[in-house]
Amino acid sequence: MSKKQFQAESKRILELMINSIYTHREIFLRELISNASDAIDKIYYLALTDENLNFDRENYFIKITVDQAARTLTVSDTGIGMTQEELEANLGIIAKSGTLSFKEATEMQEGFDIIGQFGVGFYSAFMVADKVTVISRALGSIEANKWESEGADGYTIEHWHRDNVGTDIILHIKPSTEEEDYDDYLNQYRLQSIIKKYSDFIRYPIKMDISRRRLKEGSENEYEEYVEEQVVNSMVPIWRKNKNELQPDDYEKFYAEKHYGFDEPIKYIHLSVSGAVSYNAILFIPERIPFDFYSKDYEKGLELYANGVLIMSKCPDLLPDYFSFVKGLVDSEDLSLNISREMLQHDRQLKLIAKNINTKIKNELQNLLQNDREKYEQFFKAFGRQLKYGVYDNYGRDKDVLQDLLLFYSSREKKLVTLEEYVARMPAEQKYIYYAAGESNERLEKMPQTEIVADKGYEILFLTEDVDEFAIKILMKYQDKEFRSVSSGDLGIEPGESAAEADEKHKALFVAMKEMLGDKVKEVRASQRLKQHPVCLTNEGELSIEMEKILKAMPDGKNFKADKILEINVDHEVFQSLTQAFNEDRDKLKIYSHLLYNQALLIEGLPIDDPVEFSNNICSLMK
Ligand code: ADP
């Protein structure tokens, strides 16, 4: 029988696992019991939906057996089992491929908390065992197989016998060392308490043979050992329990057991609803972004149970895209077990549940925003982008649901603010909600276009994420106040007489400059908004300069172009040189016009059209 090699990535993880100095080794048992429970879920579901299979709840259980002499701990289940191919595929290759390479790039180092970072399920057995044997018989097979491995150097598979369908995971427990008392994992009391701690809510009985002593019959001082089978867990699933019987800790443990995330959830929501549709649900808002969240691999969804039977492990119809970060489950007695994936999508009950849940999540986030701002901001930093996509998606269909959950950085408050807070502070004469879009707050602080608005004492929202301005454009208004970019042509601020006059007075100069710049700009005009800076670009029309930048970075965005206006500060010293050149030397005016235009591009963070020409122009002036 030849030894087979683990896939390279799995081998790496195994090595890390075996050598990790992990403090919570005991969680291996939670992982194995959770796998066993999943396997029973699968067979249980089949038994309920397939008439040819017999169903008797009694037959479904998990059993923990200790053999002190052999130093083995066995986790057996009556679940669906694995065929030879499945043993190879599931245990020879780590499920979440790609995870390691991602981690490797970012943070994999010595002593790295591998278990804390992503679930390694079955592999955690190697934290306590130096050899793991799996005997499994799949539903529908007569034969069983034995899979065995002593760690990273490979595994063997051979045909075996097992009386019934199901799986035994046999751990050959490591000898105790000074650092770690592995004997603990052979101690029935210790095992009982680990099961109670992590797996109490497993819905199938976890049985264990407990050895006890009793007085021998007819004797007054002679004891005898006897073995009694006991169910260790309470078996009531957490979502069916009464909320006031549960502690935050129970929800956190459940979150970890279910592998919803490897962080601590920021918030949990426990719902018990009866009415038009009855259901129990537990929902979690994670603290950290799952590593694949903003990739196309990420699948949203909640676990869906029909009266306690798992019918789908990720039901996407229960969550709108903008809440795709929510984890958890729904259990409803109003759903039919036999419902197909296609029918489910159109199921009235399910739609009702989804609608309810959606409102609940929204309200809970609103509560968090009102009552625990710090936590909300932490949430928003992780998932705010998703909410903003939600505003923008479907042409703004959901903007009313989401607009009050948004936060933007305020130029004046120097922190994140809601739109409601902004509007409440607006002075009576302020016409618009002002915003500036750019790369970073630091850059926006220095943006010339903000000068006049800031000078008026008005607050400006700084938009620094690519989705921001698109979301704002879809919102259009908040409480009847229109949004207005500080770069837009009309700021709704009374123009100083001088600006309008100056524009008239120097019309000929501006027309000449516009001609020299060609279609780079739509117009050159006197600025009403500049104080310190000589020039800036503003824009007219729907597409802003910032949006042009974002669209241009996309594969087919080359043709997007904002209508740009070059604004000139007529009070700036530089303006003297312009008028002089206009009157005396038109070639010079051309150079000046291009220089100022390029300067304005640079301030915007846009690339200049022709860097060589730009640099030649500067040189020609210095000569
Ligand atoms: P995960 O449970 O997160 O998928 P694991 O490494 O724990 O990752 O398990 C890998 C796969 O092996 C499981 O998805 C399941 O298909 C299979 N498996 C593990 N344990 C059992 C079991 N006791 N019975 C049947 N299949 C199992």
Residue bearing the bigger pLDDT, 75 or 548: 75
Of 90, 97, 168, 258, the one to substitute when testing ligand 1's pocket (max ligand atoms within 8 A of C-beta) is 90
Strands (E), 216-356: 223-231, 267-273, 279-285, 302-306, 309-315, 327-332
Banded pLDDT at 20 (limits 50, 70, 90):
low
Report the pLDDT averaged over residues 602-607: 83
Q: Which domain holds residue 441?
A: 407-485
Statement to judge: residues 431 and 562 lie in one domain? no
Q: How far is the CA of 281 from the centre of ligand 1 (A)?
A: 25
Q: What is the pLDDT of residue 102?
A: 46
Q: How far is the CA of 36 from the centre of ligand 1 (A)?
A: 8
- Provide the CA 472 distance to its chain's centre, in angstroms: 23
Q: What is the pLDDT of residue 487?
A: 86
Statement to judge: residues 188 and 219 lie in one domain? yes
Statement to judge: residues 510 and 610 lie in one domain? yes
Among the atoms of ligand 1, which is closest to the Cα of residue 31? 7
Residue 387 domain-assigned (yes or no): no
Chosen domain end from 461, 485, 509: 485
Quick check: 283 pLDDT over 70? yes
Q: How far is the CA of 126 from the centre of ligand 1 (A)?
A: 15
Structure tokens at 5: 């090699």
Supply the mean pLDDT for the chain. Answer: 88
Quick check: 517 pLDDT over 70? yes
Q: How far is the CA of 95 from the centre of ligand 1 (A)?
A: 9
Statement to judge: residues 50 and 83 lie in one domain? yes
Q: How far is the CA of 608 from the centre of ligand 1 (A)?
A: 56
Taking CA atoms only, the protein residue closest to ligand 1 atom 15 is 90
DSSP string across 532-595 = S-SEEEEEESSS-HHHHHHHHTSTT-TT---EEEEEE-TTSHHHHHHHHHHHH-HHHHHHHHHH
Q: What is the pLDDT of residue 542?
A: 80
Q: What is the pLDDT of residue 110?
A: 45
Q: How far is the CA of 90 from the centre of ligand 1 (A)?
A: 6
Taking CA atoms only, the protein residue closest to ligand 1 atom 10 is 90
Taking CA atoms only, the protein residue closest to ligand 1 atom 1 is 121
Statement to judge: residues 113 and 180 lie in one domain? yes
Q: How far is the CA of 312 from the centre of ligand 1 (A)?
A: 16
Q: What is the pLDDT of residue 547?
A: 84
Taking CA atoms only, the protein residue closest to ligand 1 atom 21 is 35
Q: Which residues pair with 144 in a beta bridge?
A: 160
DSSP string across 67-103 = ETTTTEEEEEE-S----HHHHHHHHHS-SSTTHHHHH
Taking CA atoms only, the protein residue closest to ligand 1 atom 9 is 122
Of 7, 28, 33, 35, the one to substitute when testing ligand 1's pocket (max ligand atoms within 8 A of C-beta) is 35
Statement to judge: residues 27 and 81 lie in one domain? yes
Statement to judge: residues 428 and 364 lie in one domain? no
Q: What is the pLDDT of residue 22?
A: 62
Structure tokens at 325: 């970060």
Q: How far is the CA of 122 from the centre of ligand 1 (A)?
A: 7
| % of the chain residues with pLDDT over 70 | 94
Among the atoms of ligand 1, which is closest to the Cα of residue 166? 24
Q: How far is the CA of 34 from the centre of ligand 1 (A)?
A: 9
Statement to judge: residues 103 and 196 lie in one domain? yes
Of 14, 122, 133, 257, the one to substitute when testing ligand 1's pocket (max ligand atoms within 8 A of C-beta) is 122
Residue 400 domain-assigned (yes or no): no
Chosen domain end from 426, 454, 485: 485
Strands (E), 289-372: 302-306, 309-315, 327-332
Chosen domain end from 433, 456, 485: 485
Quick check: 382 pLDDT over 90? yes
Residue 392 domain-assigned (yes or no): no
Strands (E), 138-222: 144-149, 155-160, 166-173, 206-215
Looking up tokens 């630091």, which residue turns up? 442
Q: How far is the CA of 175 from the centre of ligand 1 (A)?
A: 26
Q: What is the CATH number of the domain that holds 457?
A: 3.40.50.11260
Taking CA atoms only, the protein residue closest to ligand 1 atom 17 is 90
Among the atoms of ligand 1, which is closest to the Cα of residue 123? 6
Quick check: 240 pLDDT over 70? yes
Q: What share of the chain is helix, strand, coil (3-state, %, to 5)?
A: 45, 20, 35
Q: What is the pLDDT of residue 497?
A: 63
Q: What is the pLDDT of residue 148?
A: 96
Q: What is the CATH number of the domain that holds 211?
A: 3.30.565.10
Of 10, 31, 38, 299, the one to substitute when testing ligand 1's pocket (max ligand atoms within 8 A of C-beta) is 38
Q: What is the pLDDT of residue 294?
A: 83
Among the ranges 129-143, 258-272, 288-302, 539-553, which has the highest mean pLDDT value?
129-143
Statement to judge: residues 537 and 614 lie in one domain? yes
Q: What is the CATH number of the domain that holds 327?
A: 3.30.230.80
Looking up tokens 């038109």, which residue turns up? 586
Phi/psi of residue 260, nearest 5 degrees: -65, -35
Residue 379 domain-assigned (yes or no): no
The Cα-based distances of 25 to 19, 71, 151 in angstroms read: 12, 17, 16
Q: How far is the CA of 539 from the centre of ligand 1 (A)?
A: 58
Report the pLDDT averaged over residues 121-147: 93
Taking CA atoms only, the protein residue closest to ligand 1 atom 23 is 36
HEC string of 374-425 equals: HHHHHHHHHHHHHHHHHHHHHHHCCHHHHHHHCCEEECCCCCEECHHHHHHH
Statement to judge: residues 153 and 262 lie in one domain? no
Q: What is the pLDDT of residue 111?
A: 45
- Cβ neighbour number for residue 322 with a 10 Å cutoff: 25
Residue 490 domain-assigned (yes or no): no
Among the atoms of ligand 1, which is closest to the Cα of residue 119? 3
Least confident of 26-30, 115-119, 375-379: 115-119
- Cβ neighbour number for residue 215 with a 10 Å cutoff: 11
For the stretch 160-179, pLDDT in tens is 999 999 999 999 999 999 88
Residue bearing the bigger pLDDT, 229 or 336: 229
Within 6 A (CB) of ligand 1 lie 31, 35-36, 39, 77, 79-82, 90, 95, 119, 121-122, 167
Statement to judge: residues 52 and 154 lie in one domain? yes
Q: What is the pLDDT of residue 105?
A: 39
Residue 384 domain-assigned (yes or no): no
Quick check: 376 pLDDT over 80? yes
Residue 90 domain-assigned (yes or no): yes
Phi-psi region of 156 (alpha: psi -120 to 50; beta: other; left: phi over 0): beta
Residue at 532: amino acid letter: Q
Residue 190 domain-assigned (yes or no): yes
Statement to judge: residues 94 and 194 lie in one domain? yes
For the stretch 481-499, pLDDT in tens is 999 999 887 888 876 666 7
| % of the chain residues with pLDDT over 90 | 57
Q: How far is the CA of 335 from the centre of ligand 1 (A)?
A: 27
Question: How many independent structural domains does the chain possess?
Answer: 4
Taking CA atoms only, the protein residue closest to ligand 1 atom 13 is 90
pTM of the full structure? 0.78
Q: What is the pLDDT of residue 108?
A: 45
For the stretch 519-536, pLDDT in tens is 999 999 998 888 888 999
Q: What is the pLDDT of residue 109?
A: 46
Closest CA to 281 of 324, 251, 253, 320: 251
Q: How far is the CA of 255 from the centre of ligand 1 (A)?
A: 18
Taking CA atoms only, the protein residue closest to ligand 1 atom 4 is 95
Q: How far is the CA of 86 from the centre of ligand 1 (A)?
A: 9
Quick check: 113 pLDDT over 70? no
How far, in Å, CA of 474 to CA of 482, rounded? 11
Among the atoms of ligand 1, which is closest to the Cα of residue 169? 23
